[in-house]
Structure 1
Amino acid sequence: MESPLIRELDLLEQGIDALRGLLGPDWQVTQRPNKSSVFDAALEVKPEGDSTFTQLLVEATLAVPPRFIMERLVPKVQLLREVNHYTNLLVIAPWISSQARELLKQNGIAYLDLTGNVDIRVPRPAIIIHTVGAEKAPRSAPREASRTTLAGVKAGRLVRLLADVPPPHRATDLHRVSELSLPYVSRLLDTLEDQLLIRREGRTIANVDWAQLLRARANATNLLAPGSYQGFLAPNGIPALLQEIPRLATEYIDGLSVTGSHAAQRFAQVAVGGQLMFYVAPWLNIDDAADELGLLPVTEGADVLLLNESDSFVRRRSEFDGGVQYVAPSQAVLDCLAGPGRMPAEGEALLDFMEAYPEEWRASENDIWPRPPRH
């Protein structure tokens, strides 16, 4: 297996080649002897036939978590500016997340990733390059072998707890309520701290950036993954279907929970209507539920989607409104942001509401660590 050093050297070479391709044949990019062990390379960049040049000091790294930016890169660039205003820092990586890219821009650090996310701005000689590449990490991007991600059912449980319940938190409480193993909880908390989504004081989680946490979780999921749902048509329309639900048997009333657009529109309305989406609890059969609701199976033009409920936590802190069960706002946000079409915009509108009125949706003092729902 290749060492990380060898992979970073290969990354550096690919990044320099990409920079040359972006600048074109009228520019020279020359790698100079690197007199500092702090940076991976020193590049001289200048127009062909011109003596004016800028120096780019390069940090080639396989991953760019936000914590790495704030704790490692920002101090470097601050020191660099004190020494030489005409020298710039360029980060080269296989892929850089949107959150990390925003932090780099805020701190005046240029970046280039191999998927095409590039932002380089130099005043003299004038260079402005901004291109957009992949929003999600490609499978080919290197990953830390032990790094726990925000994908998967288990991560969803922890995200919901951290979003719904105001801090402080301890890993042992999260472990107990989520029923996840303590080692897994600890690993995921380490990842979230690297992403600056949580901040700890000692062993206690003192702050949670819950809005960014929900966005990051949604970015790692796909609401309508193949095989996760079935499409149907409501012959009498969506309003009539919602009025019919309270008349069903209790097992259906409890086992069907509205998510997506219609759940978001209870708090923030970007548009009217949209597909009606239900999570179907595991004690119900989707085809039986469709029959009870009087739905017709269709391959195109579905106005009702029945989703397999992969985990009972999607119903955590759900509410009944007019005899119909709706998922909690935090779950509705996750599903909208991970959905198609206009759903992400509806998710962002709901996030705006949640930030303005946290008392409307976060756990109360009497509901700090509720037990997970069971059936």
Structure 2
Amino acid sequence: MRLSRLQVIDFRNYAQAELELQAGPTVLVGSNGQGKTNIVEAIGYLSTLGSHRVASDQPLIRRGAERAVIRAIVLNDDRELSVELEITAGKANRARIGRAPVGRTKDVIGIVRSVLFAPEDLSLVKGDPSDRRRFLDELLVQRYPRYAGVRSDYERVRAQRNALLRTAGMARRAGKSGDLSTLDAWDEHLIAHGAALLHGRLELVHDLSPHFQTAYAAISGSADDVAMRYRTLAEDVRADADDVDDPQAPEEEIGVPDIEELSALMRTRLAAMRAKEVERGMTLVGPHRDELLLRLDDFPAKGYASHGQSWSIALALRLAAYELLRAEGAEPILLLDDVFAELDAKRRAYLSEVAKAAEQTIITAAVEADVPDGLEATTHRVTAGTIAS
């Protein structure tokens, strides 16, 4: 799978730009702040409906414009399909597939698959658990687009349940009883969506793990042992809620339970935590509290891995995602955003070989010297929101 054309209108610093794309590597060269990353961000947005740099859509719209548009022509097994996204801050975004509007923007997920590696990816190792949960969820949605609905349903129920818990908690602190008559119903909604999301994440980690270990060994060239494990509060109903962030907490390997078993575990844990949830006015059990644990030689990678090892782990996670998607269907577009300048010679050489072998790779670099020798590519220059061949 690859893009043959990309057009952006009022996206970031682009009033309008169009880019014809070929198979193989393409390099976008330009000084910082000219708009290179905005192009890979647009492609990533087509894949996930989200940005790797910002949490909201407002910064994606060019200053003074009402909306931004991303259009692409996608080639998959010689079949051509157009996709368009219209991003409007404060309103529902709109989408078209072919020439027909679609009722739900998330219906475009799966048309474009991409894997993005960027300097921000060090947060996958050094950052908070939320960074690793986001990595899993974005990959999960690309793998199985139906999980976009599961995620949004879970977050909607959690927000409504939190509102009920806050209201009840405030009432009890004021000496009143606090109405929790509907909490059992909200629990069941939370369990239904949470167990489905949890099952998807557990299956993903199970399938991603061997690709991660293989990629790390190839990148690092060392005998370091790496592993990943998904830790959920539902595994142990005796655990304290705050233990989820403790990398030294006892761990036991488990298989991937079915959704019914996960539902039962969540139900038990919710019952055990109800008093604390009312006291704190928030949901303390569910996938939003879980953690992807990354280990290096039986130690937590966060805090133990060196800077070079952290880069290798982060790169291995992205390349594992690339290999998993590649093995299961249309090969994803590989997006490399200004990363060659951050890597040493060994890691640059390895990533260069992956980039050459991919069906389509989009690379950004501040100067051409950042691109490894031998990586033959179509080069475009980016200057102040304009793209020239």
Superposition TM-score tier, normalisation by shorter sequence: under 0.3
Structure with the higher fraction of residues in helix conformation: 2
Structure number with greater CO (CA < 8 Å, separation at least 6) is 2
TM-score (structure 2 length as normaliser): 0.26
TM-score (structure 1 length as normaliser): 0.27
